[in-house]
Amino acid sequence: MSSVDGHIAGPRGCQECEVGPTLDLINLVMRRAEGLPPTIGSDYPHVYCGPNRENMRVIKVNGRVVSHTGLFLSDVKVGQHILRVAGLGCMVTHPGYRHQGYGTAVAEDWMRRMLEVGADVGWLDTDFPDWYRRVGWEKAGRRHTYYLDRGNVGLLPSLSGYEVRCGYPGYLEQMLTLHRQHPLGTYRPLSLFKMLLNRPATNRWPQLKAYLATQEAQLGAYVILSGNEVIEYAGAAQVVAGLIREVFQRKDDVSISTSDHDETGRVLLQASLAVCTPVLANGLPGLFASLGLPRSLTHLGMLRIANLSSLLAKLGLEEINVQPKGEAAVLTRGAEQCELTPQEQVKLVFGPERVADFATDLFPIPFYHWPLDYI
């Protein structure tokens, strides 16, 4: 970091009186610079707030907050195992203080904090992957997106015996129960789930809507839609699929011209729905795959492992021995052995790229972070 700027404080957690100025900085960079209103505080009220201020890591120069990154901890279920996941959000440096190493210093401090709070894995979503690679992150994890349109939505099972509702009042607890029954995903307290759903439309999740399939006040399935994307679902696969078919039909406006364009030249009709899912052979993804629906595979985000040995122990994979070798690690399992950098380690464990011919029967693990939990 440059010392020509005078007195530098941090990186460290925010003090009470610094939460407001830090939010101002985040809004300046993430909202106002994009011509958007300063909504960070209401878009992520659980992250950038007084109670989480120790996880709002900042650097001050001459009394001014100039760089920040936030951390939010979640317990994420991976089958019968639970991983502590630290989300990284709102990495910002004031435009007048960039290229002096403040961002790097805050990102490294975030890593120290991640270890301090006992996280196993760091997760982030970014348009600047190469900047994060410099500080140890790598793209990893797997997400499928399935594509529905008028030509294939009729392949989904029809929803018989259920009523379809838009909006969740009265059903939140049942939704949480269904969410928790899914083998993958974050343990959300009810209050957090409510807050995530009640947020005003954000530029990340515009038009957030919940659709429910109910049978005499019993919830069979729910889906959460943002625009034309299903970002979350829970319930038995047949019921979820039937609900998605119903939602598609409700949204599909057959009165819209199939040939006209809007003033920007785009075709008016967009009768399509994308469905984000974990990569799984059963449940909804299994049903979609059995129908041959088109899909794409993307990374879940950028990931960083805090400590490979303890991560493998948490996943019940003690049969793999890990020996540190400088920045890298040598992994041994019976006669199998490989040496991997930290970036290769996340790809081995979370996929999708195969960086080594090692324990291919165990990796990648089916880790998933539901988009509603993104920060």
Ligand X SMILES: CC(C)(COP(=O)(O)OP(=O)(O)OC[C@H]1O[C@@H](n2cnc3c(N)ncnc32)[C@H](O)[C@@H]1OP(=O)(O)O)[C@@H](O)C(=O)NCCC(=O)NCCS
Residue nearest to ligand X (CB): 103
Q: Binding to ligand X (CB under 6 A): which residues in 26-45? A: 29
Among 13, 101, 183, 227, binds ligand X (CB under 6 A): 101
Q: Is 2 a residue that touches ligand X (CB under 6 A)? A: yes
Q: Is 126 a residue that touches ligand X (CB under 6 A)? A: yes
Q: Is 100 a residue that touches ligand X (CB under 6 A)? A: yes
* CB of residue 98 to ligand X, shortest distance in Å: 3
Question: Judged by CB, which is closer to ligand X: 99, or 266?
Answer: 99
Q: Is 98 a residue that touches ligand X (CB under 6 A)? A: yes
Give the integer Cα–Cα distance in Å for 81 and 374: 21
Does residue 11 have a cis bond before it (omega within 30 degrees)? yes
Question: Judged by CB, which is closer to ligand X: 98, or 112?
Answer: 98
Which among 49-57, 79-87, 99-107, 270-278 is the span making contact with ligand X, rule CB under 6 A?
A: 99-107
Give the integer Cα–Cα distance in Å for 122 and 284: 27
Contact indicator for 195, 46 with CB cutoff of 8 Å: yes
Question: Judged by CB, which is closer to ligand X: 131, or 147?
Answer: 131
Q: Is 187 a residue that touches ligand X (CB under 6 A)? A: no
Among 102, 248, 363, 368, binds ligand X (CB under 6 A): 102
Question: Judged by CB, which is closer to ligand X: 67, or 174?
Answer: 67
Q: Tell me the per-residue interface mask from 127 to 146 with ligand X, x by CB under 6 A, - otherwise.
A: -x--x---------------
Give the integer Cα–Cα distance in Å for 240 and 214: 11
Question: Judged by CB, which is closer to ligand X: 105, or 230?
Answer: 105
Size, binding site for ligand X by CB under 6 A: 16
Distances (CA, A) of 26 to 38, 56, 89, 90, 264: 9, 11, 10, 7, 32
Give the integer Cα–Cα distance in Å for 366 and 370: 13
19 Cβ neighbours under 8 A, 6+ residues apart: 48, 49, 50, 53, 56
Distances (CA, A) of 278 to 156, 160, 267, 344: 18, 26, 31, 21
Count of alpha carbons within 13 angstroms of residue 303, beta-carbon side: 30
Among 67, 74, 174, 277, binds ligand X (CB under 6 A): 67
Which among 123-131, 207-215, 316-324, 364-372 is the span making contact with ligand X, rule CB under 6 A?
A: 123-131
Q: Binding to ligand X (CB under 6 A): which residues in 78-97? A: 91-93
Distance of CA 224 to the CA centre of its chain: 15
Nearest alpha-carbon partner for 300 in 76, 30, 131: 76
* CB of residue 137 to ligand X, shortest distance in Å: 10
Question: Judged by CB, which is closer to ligand X: 68, or 182?
Answer: 68
Which among 124-132, 196-204, 244-252, 358-366 is the span making contact with ligand X, rule CB under 6 A?
A: 124-132
Helices 190-198 and 172-181 meet at what angle, rounded to 10? 110
Among 103, 278, 301, 371, binds ligand X (CB under 6 A): 103
Among 104, 238, 249, 309, binds ligand X (CB under 6 A): 104
Give the integer Cα–Cα distance in Å for 239 and 220: 7
Q: Is 302 a residue that touches ligand X (CB under 6 A)? A: no
Pairing assessment for the beta strands 295-298 and 301-305 based on DSSP bridges: unpaired
Identify the three-state secondary structure at position 102: helix
Question: Judged by CB, which is closer to ligand X: 35, or 151?
Answer: 35
Q: Is 365 a residue that touches ligand X (CB under 6 A)? A: no
Residues that bind ligand X (CB under 6 A): 2, 29, 67, 91-93, 98-104, 126, 128, 131
